[in-house]
Structure 1
Amino acid sequence: MTNPYKSNTCDEIVFSSFFKNHSKALRNFIFYKYGDKDQAEDLVQEAFIKLWQNCTTVPIEKAKSYIYTIANNSSLNVIAHQKVVLKYQKDFSGFDKTNESPEFILEEKQFENKLLKAIENLNETQRVAFLMHRIDGKKYSEIAEELSIGIKAVEKRIHLALFELRKEIENFK
């Protein structure tokens, strides 16, 4: 007895086409949600590897949902691990911080860290909409369609994100 899904998802041409069509969007989704590009790329690869390993049980119609769920869950696992690592580093910091670099470079690095922290502190809905607009250059209508929300909701999320970022940067000065 043959499995009807095997000819679909397990077909290398179908799988390759599916990968090409969805890998960038999945990477951007994970990057926007969690803020680490390298981690996002790794998690996308892992999600597609798991899809390939389970191609006989995952129909192509459900593959998109499957890879997003796998990548999101893997991200949450990585974040939980990072929290443990950061707690350990905070408690046992052995880094020697010197003032050997020029003042401008130091200030620039501090500002960059502050900006990244401010973006990280945005709530998820604001951060995702903001990064999709500013990094991907997507129009409000495209963002609204991808997130299944109205254009006004996208406008409000981006406006609130900018407001929060301005507030954080003003506090930095």
Structure 2
Amino acid sequence: MNRYALSSDTELTVLLTQGDEIAFTEIYNRYSRKLMAMGYNYAKDSTLAEEIVQEVFIQLWEKRQQVKISTLSAYLATAIKFSVFRIIQRKRRQEAIAQEHYTKEEVVHDDERIYAKFLEEYVNGITEELPEKCRLVFHYSRNLHMTNKEISKELNIAEKTVEAHLTKAIKNVRKGLEGLGISTILINTFIKYF
């Protein structure tokens, strides 16, 4: 067994950013089958699933110095979902052209709903990795729409602590979304209204 097979995901990610091809191969060997299963689960087409996985790994290698990866498995899983989303989006547009009664406006709204749902699920995945108190503060603020003062009373912590937890959570969410290549304007809008 080579030393790469014993390396952690974090170690492999660092080596990947340095252009280590063996580390990249190890990542591929470690995750390609899982990602194929995930791609098939979403796309329901084995050939398409294989294409999606290949595309994800090509992008991973080509953008190895630009992407910010905190958790490799989560990054790859999200990349698969994002690729599937793009395919669904493309298919919906093609179907809309074929169906006269299916208006362009409806297609746009459908795409926006799918994209918003994808971002919401992705952000939930990021926040699940936060420390418990930080995760709770973010949940109370964004999902239950509680004020900092209300959260402070609920969790029996100072308002300044609530603000610190929110800042940390938003910073993590922003970093995760930037890793997907999403524009700063869209990230700011999403965080504001999430």
TM range (shorter): 0.3 to 0.5
- Bigger relative contact order (CA 8 A; separation at least 6): 1
Q: Give the TM-score taking structure 1 as reference length.
A: 0.44
Q: Give the TM-score taking structure 2 as reference length.
A: 0.40
